[in-house]
Amino acid sequence: MKIVYPYLLCVTFFFCQMGAGQNTIQITDAKGVPLSKVTLHWSELKQYTQTDSLGLAKLPTYRAGEYAVECVKQGFKSQVFTIRLPLKQSVIWTLETEITELQEVLVTGVSRTTQLKEIPFAIQTITAKNWQQASGSNAVEALQQVAGVQILTTGTAIAKPLIRGLGYNRVISLSNGIRIEGQQWGDEHGLEMDAHAVDHVEIIKGPGSLWYGSDAMAGVIHFLASPPKFESKLNGLISQEYQSNARSLDHHFSLSGAANSWFWQTQGTHRIAGNFQNPADGYVLNSGFQEWDGMGQLGIRKNWGHSTLRLSTWNQSVGLPEGDRNQWGQFTYTDANEQTQTATPQDLKSYTLGYPQQTINHHTVNSQSFIKWNHQSISFDWGFQSNTRREYGNAAMPNLPNVYMHLNTLSWNGKYTAKTGHKGNVAFGISGMHQTQVNAATDRIIPNYQLLDLGTCLTYDYRFNDKWHLMGGGRLDVRWYQQQALWTDQNGNETSPNVAYRQAFYALNSHFNGMSGSVGTTFNPTKTKTIKWNVAVGYRAPNAAELSSNGKHEGTFRYELGNASLKPEHNLQTDVGFQYRKTHFTLDVSPFINLISNYIYPKRLKDSAGNDVIMDAADPVPTYVFTSGNSLLFGGEIQIDFHPHPFDWLHIEPACAFVRGIKQNDPTGYLPNMPAPQAKLSVRSEWERPDKFCQDLYFLFQGIYNSDQHQIATEGSTETETPAYALFHFSAGCKVKTATKSHWNLKISIENLLNTAYQNHLSRLKYAPINLATGQMGIFNPGRNYALRLQYAW
């Protein structure tokens, strides 16, 4: 490892030479009228440019080659043009009028930058505009805009994404090409991601994308930062936001600039929230959080390509509500003298975190490099992450963590792509990940371990003509996993085997390998219709928690036991897609079926009398053990985008999603953590108003109906049923120009407009103890929330 780190740093800045030039293109409408403020997205080059009042845009002169450029403007079809550099003459592109928004876009989650309509498996994007208009307390909540994506939550600060009913280590989450690795196996382990650092998101549903590793059985979520601006001036943003429900404050700043071929950016975020509230529970004790984030990047752009080095830090302290109450339904807590106290109004409205709580420090250094020549390109990404997680459970010893885990992760991936003739493209890639996990406290949930993943991938895509497109490939992954045995005394301290009170973990050396593959096609019988079909096989090795966990997290409601005999999961998924698109109407239908062998899930243990097995009498919580079985998941999504002519400023967007997960050997048994069927309706009005004082004005109204969930994992009373509920949200915003080129962004929103008392089926707080005053089990989700955000940009 000592040799690897300096080698990666050398690769990062290997290509820092030669110069760049500029050429000009023009974009017009169908009548030849120049279009201003058309955004050109150079995905491979990670750059945006924009046309001026004459429809002219400059594009950099890179090394000779072919590039795909997406052109986007409100009221026009999002179109992708192919351009070959260097240019020998002026270029004029014409945009077609189109009002709907489910349009073709460029995505990077395949072998090369590709148009969405040419990808045979289900993939969607959350654009920068959608991301900025979204509401939520963290970066993951905005993902729920996409049908088929749900989140498993613990309060307002912790959220884990699920794709079509699958989550945890079955979803690969990436930040700018690098896997986010922060003990993703835990229920209360959210993604270490600053929402302000995200420009747009690509979501791949299913194992169809082979480039990011073996664990992507459910899919991939890729958070991407905004491409740098190459204007020779200082760009900045200052943002302030207040949310009423938990009295949360969000402070953010960002600065960026460029000089010659170099670009840089720095940003920082501070967020603080008190206890959230709802109509059923009032203020929920110990549900606040505090967060401090920062990022800096330095990059270079030359005619050979580009290279970026990025450093980031994400730090969060979050309270974990346990839901203990007295007979009158008032929240209680244990003080530093180990006495039970009733929470006062001052306690409930305080920003001070109680116990249990957890503190996470996640530091990352990563780099992305891209080189292109003729019809070939090479990309290489690497990243190092240091994740420290401390969990505190005793107010009498506030500085002594019960759990202290430190995880170091080094990951890398490289890719070579080349054109084969005029219609084909081939890509070959390698990837790897090395992890070291160390415990530094007396309570240990998982053992000390080391892990090494190595993988290789080969894909090919071929465009027969404008109607038919074929894409396929294969991947081989190998994992070596080694964990240490551990003997402890009665106080949990490590000791020798001959005097030990118990053996907490056994030594384990495991080797796993598996194949993944995908093949699919897209067919465009007409300009308005697209038909997709894809079949893919995926593979995932069991993680450390599933193999060897032995303990309880602070603030959770269960004790977990691993199972060293678990085998890798394998799945076979078939996706079918149909899209119909007209000027004012778009329909997208995406059914799927997913067969999984050795599906791993936690099962609640019962004794022969049907009572819960209790591992620790001093902290009596139910015990869960990881087991496996063959499973079947099926469902799909339907999305519509409708604009009633001539009211082209009005967007009506209904959508619905459904997934059902069952055990194949027990058709009456259902898999845990399956989201309830959901229907959504968004009604949005937008006015660009380019020459007005108040520009980009929008109003958004959303209605969400979550059906009741009766198809639950009843084995051992693992889950409980969840009733149906409906939520309504409203938001509005605009951009206000100033006398200079700076502007203000204003947004107001109301979440849970009717202040509905509800429990989401994927909320872990619904399994908190029963409220003796109401007889209702668990803690409810947040109630009505007013939010105001004000930004100043220059």
Question: 327-342, pLDDT tens digit by residue?
Answer: 999 999 999 999 999 9
Cβ neighbors of 733 (< 8 A, separation 6 or more) are 133, 696, 697, 698, 745, 746, 747, 748, 789
Beta strands in 114-199 (DSSP E): 114-115, 123-126, 149-154, 158-163, 171-175, 178-179
- Token output for 511: 């080797």
Which of the four pLDDT bands, split at 50, 70 and 90, describes residue 250? very high
The angle at the Cα of 45, spanning 39 to 46, to the nearest 5 degrees, equals 60
Which of the four pLDDT bands, split at 50, 70 and 90, describes residue 7? very low
> Which is it for strands 623-642 and 559-561: parallel, antiparallel or unpaired?
parallel
Tell me the C-alpha distance between 603 and 611, whole Å. Answer: 14
Distances (CA, A) of 216 to 248, 409, 453, 633: 34, 18, 14, 16
Query: Which SS3 state, helix, strand or coil, does residue 493 take?
Result: coil
Tell me the C-alpha distance between 331 and 773, whole Å. Answer: 11
> Which is it for strands 106-107 and 114-115: parallel, antiparallel or unpaired?
antiparallel
List the single range of 290-294, 317-321, 423-427 with lowest mean pLDDT: 423-427
- Token output for 528: 């308005």
Which of the four pLDDT bands, split at 50, 70 and 90, describes residue 230? low
Query: Which SS3 state, helix, strand or coil, does residue 131 take?
Result: helix
Cβ neighbors of 29 (< 8 A, separation 6 or more) are 35, 76, 94, 95, 97
Tell me the C-alpha distance between 308 and 381, whole Å. Answer: 10
Beta strands in 421-485 (DSSP E): 424-439, 449-463, 468-483
Tell me the C-alpha distance between 521 and 532, whole Å. Answer: 6
How many H-runs (helices) and E-runs (strands) does the chain carry? 4, 50
- Token output for 246: 């938990």
Give the type of residue at 724: A
Residues 430, 453 contacting (CB under 8 angstroms)? no
Q: Please give the backbone phi and psi of residue 349, each rounded to the nearest 5 degrees, phi first.
A: -105, 15
Which of the four pLDDT bands, split at 50, 70 and 90, describes residue 325? very high
Question: 587-611, pLDDT tens digit by residue?
Answer: 999 999 999 999 998 888 888 888 8
Scanning 318-388, the segments in alpha helix (DSSP H) are: 345-348
Tell me the C-alpha distance between 448 and 440, whole Å. Answer: 10
Tell me the C-alpha distance between 198 and 191, whole Å. Answer: 13
Question: 665-685, pLDDT tens digit by residue?
Answer: 776 689 989 999 999 999 999
Tell me the C-alpha distance between 377 and 418, whole Å. Answer: 7
Tell me the C-alpha distance between 546 and 251, whole Å. Answer: 38
pLDDT for residue 4 is more than 60:
no
In residues, how long is the chain? 794
Proportion of the chain above pLDDT 90, given as a percent = 58
Give the type of residue at 370: F
Distances (CA, A) of 662 to 191, 349, 537, 633: 28, 43, 19, 6
Residues 708, 674 contacting (CB under 8 angstroms)? no
Tell me the C-alpha distance between 366 and 307, whole Å. Answer: 11
DSSP 673-699: SPPPPEEEEEEEEEE--TTSSEEEEEE
Query: Which SS3 state, helix, strand or coil, does residue 13 take?
Result: coil
Give the type of residue at 317: S
Least Cα distance to 244 among 734, 688, 782 occurs for 782
Tell me the C-alpha distance between 531 and 609, whole Å. Answer: 55
Mean pLDDT of the region 416-432: 91
Query: Which SS3 state, helix, strand or coil, does residue 575 take?
Result: strand
pLDDT for residue 32 is more than 80:
yes
Proportion of the chain above pLDDT 70, given as a percent = 93
| Torsional sign, CA 563, 568, 574, 577 | positive
Which of the four pLDDT bands, split at 50, 70 and 90, describes residue 14? very low
pLDDT for residue 758 is more than 90:
yes
Residues 186, 555 contacting (CB under 8 angstroms)? no
Mean pLDDT of the region 616-623: 81
Q: What is the pLDDT of residue 29?
A: 87
Tell me the C-alpha distance between 197 and 310, whole Å. Answer: 12
Q: What is the pLDDT of residue 726?
A: 98
- Token output for 213: 């590793």
DSSP state of 348: H
Tell me the C-alpha distance between 597 and 578, whole Å. Answer: 28
Cβ neighbors of 317 (< 8 A, separation 6 or more) are 289, 290, 291, 353, 357, 358, 359, 360
Q: What is the pLDDT of residue 470?
A: 94
DSSP state of 758: -
Burial class (CB in 10 A: 0-12, 13-18, 19+), 600: buried
- In the chain the first and final C-alpha atoms are separated, in Å, by 44
Scanning 404-562, the segments in alpha helix (DSSP H) are: 544-548
> What's the whole-number average pLDDT of the chain?
88
Question: 433-449, pLDDT tens digit by residue?
Answer: 999 999 999 888 999 99
DSSP 88-111: SS-EEEEPPB---S----EE-SSS
DSSP state of 421: T
Distances (CA, A) of 284 to 274, 317, 720: 9, 17, 21
In the chain the domains, ranked by start, together with CATH numbers, are: 1-98 (2.60.40.1120), 221-227+235-349+357-793 (2.40.170.20)
pTM: 0.88
Q: Please give the backbone phi and psi of residue 529, each rounded to the nearest 5 degrees, phi first.
A: -125, 140
Q: Please give the backbone phi and psi of residue 788, each rounded to the nearest 5 degrees, phi first.
A: -135, 125
Question: 498-557, pLDDT tens digit by residue?
Answer: 888 888 899 999 999 999 999 999 999 998 899 999 999 999 999 999 999 998 766 567
Least Cα distance to 157 among 460, 555, 729 occurs for 555
Which of the four pLDDT bands, split at 50, 70 and 90, describes residue 99? low
